[in-house]
Chains A and B, each alone.
Chain A
């Protein structure tokens, strides 16, 4: 799971795909995940990092992450 090279992101959760002009907003945790995807962090590490930082059930977060990643893929943000 890797963010496409040309995707532009901001610390405020704005995502811009210059290939097709799409732009999106994501929330704080979404922004953190995008940041980790940018650094090519594997999903397991993302899960561990987020679960250690926030009070969240791991199973629930794994499902949420799956949804989020498939959304990003649908929007052609991931490679």
Chain B
């Protein structure tokens, strides 16, 4: 429900109640905290932010300047009925207007629930199931072929005895990838075998054997309106990465190749919502799409800092407003991720652990937010 704001002098403004997931702002962060930060920075609307968490120690829960109240939700493996039950309970109390899910693993359930949520007055702005599944890692090469996008060649391996044949077709060096996560570069069959078993044990089958592309890694954050129009695109080059391959610093760059690539991707898929294209630009300038993440990246606040506030634009579109595409942005804008020890007390931890809910108390933390 859209409520009248109680803020003095702003009676004409409505408060939009937005639930956001992925508050795990840790060393390999989820995008939730960055999404909220960008939304809060937009002066076009008032918001009440409801955090949806899976773990009791997700840092976003305790960032009370950003998150007004947090509720725990069931893991994706619990299924859509359990999730819907919990969301309806939260909705009864909070009158949610919008949910922005930010984890790959939870999107399937949220997309399945889209209609049910809308019937209850909860908006979302996510890709269709068909779009979501088409960009799956295990279908990426076929997807690229269909839409004339450049993707590295790959082979799916369902049993270890097929690895040698796949390796012969792809050649060395190659990348051995899990269907959900993890990638290991292999320069020989022995290394490929070792990587195969390691990733199989963690993520199961199939294993993706992918052509290794040498080059410069560029990530693109883009926002589509679901009708084929690109509302915003920001390309970013990673300046420094962690041992998990995550950007710890990055810079906005000006290269029309990447803008056009994202526009084409959104046009052919009619993508609705935020996405991230992970691109490797080969030395001859070809942009290979290595992965398509079906949600905003953890560095999404950089888009707001560079002049295209993608999370805020998503909120507007989700709430039924027309948003005109923006193309201008500040080139050379840099983000540097940092770690900060947030201090809370056992009482807060007790509340979220015991009741699955945590109300924000602005004076109760270390005041570290923004």
**Which residues of A does B touch, CB under 8 Å?**
6, 8, 16, 18-21
- In the bound assembly, the distance between CA atoms of A23 and B273 in angstroms comes to 33
B331 contacts across to A, CB distance below 8 A: 18
B260 proximal to A (CB < 8 A): no
A6 contacts across to B, CB distance below 8 A: 254
- In the bound assembly, the distance between CA atoms of A21 and B330 in angstroms comes to 12
B216 contacts across to A, CB distance below 8 A: 20
B332 contacts across to A, CB distance below 8 A: 8, 16, 18, 21
Sample of 11 more A-B contacts, CB < 8 Å, known A18-B331, A20-B255, A21-B239: A6-B254, A18-B253, A18-B332, A19-B254, A19-B255, A20-B237, A20-B253, A21-B237, A21-B250, A21-B253, A21-B332
B302 proximal to A (CB < 8 A): no
Name the distance in Å between A10's Cβ and chain B's nearest Cβ.
Answer: 12
- In the bound assembly, the distance between CA atoms of A21 and B218 in angstroms comes to 10
Interface residues of B in 221-247 (CB under 8 A from A): 237, 239
Name the distance in Å between B258's Cβ and chain A's nearest Cβ.
Answer: 10
B298 proximal to A (CB < 8 A): no
B239 contacts across to A, CB distance below 8 A: 21
> Of all chain B residues, which has the CB nearest A19?
B255
Interface residues of B in 165-209 (CB under 8 A from A): none
- In the bound assembly, the distance between CA atoms of A47 and B178 in angstroms comes to 56
B251 contacts across to A, CB distance below 8 A: 21
> Of all chain A residues, which has the CB nearest B256?
A19
18 A–B pairs (Cβ distance < 8 Å), ordered by A: A6-B254, A8-B332, A16-B332, A18-B331, A18-B332, A19-B253, A19-B254, A19-B255, A20-B216, A20-B237, A20-B253, A20-B255, A21-B239, A21-B250, A21-B251, A21-B252, A21-B253, A21-B332
Size of the chain B interface, CB-CB below 8 angstroms: 11
A21 contacts across to B, CB distance below 8 A: 237, 239, 250-253, 332
B254 contacts across to A, CB distance below 8 A: 6, 18-19
B255 contacts across to A, CB distance below 8 A: 19-20
Name the distance in Å between A32's Cβ and chain B's nearest Cβ.
Answer: 23
Name the distance in Å between B178's Cβ and chain A's nearest Cβ.
Answer: 29
- In the bound assembly, the distance between CA atoms of A20 and B331 in angstroms comes to 10
- In the bound assembly, the distance between CA atoms of A67 and B114 in angstroms comes to 61
Across the A-B interface, give the 9 residue pairs with the lowest CB-CB distance, nearest first. Answer: A21-B237, A21-B251, A18-B254, A18-B331, A21-B253, A19-B255, A20-B253, A19-B254, A18-B332
A18 contacts across to B, CB distance below 8 A: 253-254, 331-332
- In the bound assembly, the distance between CA atoms of A18 and B255 in angstroms comes to 8
> Of all chain B residues, which has the CB nearest A17?
B253
B252 contacts across to A, CB distance below 8 A: 21
A16 contacts across to B, CB distance below 8 A: 332
- In the bound assembly, the distance between CA atoms of A20 and B332 in angstroms comes to 10
> Of all chain A residues, which has the CB nearest B281?
A20
- In the bound assembly, the distance between CA atoms of A6 and B254 in angstroms comes to 9
- In the bound assembly, the distance between CA atoms of A7 and B10 in angstroms comes to 45
- In the bound assembly, the distance between CA atoms of A21 and B216 in angstroms comes to 11
- In the bound assembly, the distance between CA atoms of A21 and B331 in angstroms comes to 9
> Of all chain B residues, which has the CB nearest A16?
B332
Name the distance in Å between A3's Cβ and chain B's nearest Cβ.
Answer: 15
> Of all chain B residues, which has the CB nearest A8?
B332
Scoring B residues 245 to 286 as 1 if CB is less than 8 Å from chain A, else 0, what string do you get? 000001111110000000000000000000000000000000
- In the bound assembly, the distance between CA atoms of A16 and B239 in angstroms comes to 13
- In the bound assembly, the distance between CA atoms of A18 and B251 in angstroms comes to 9
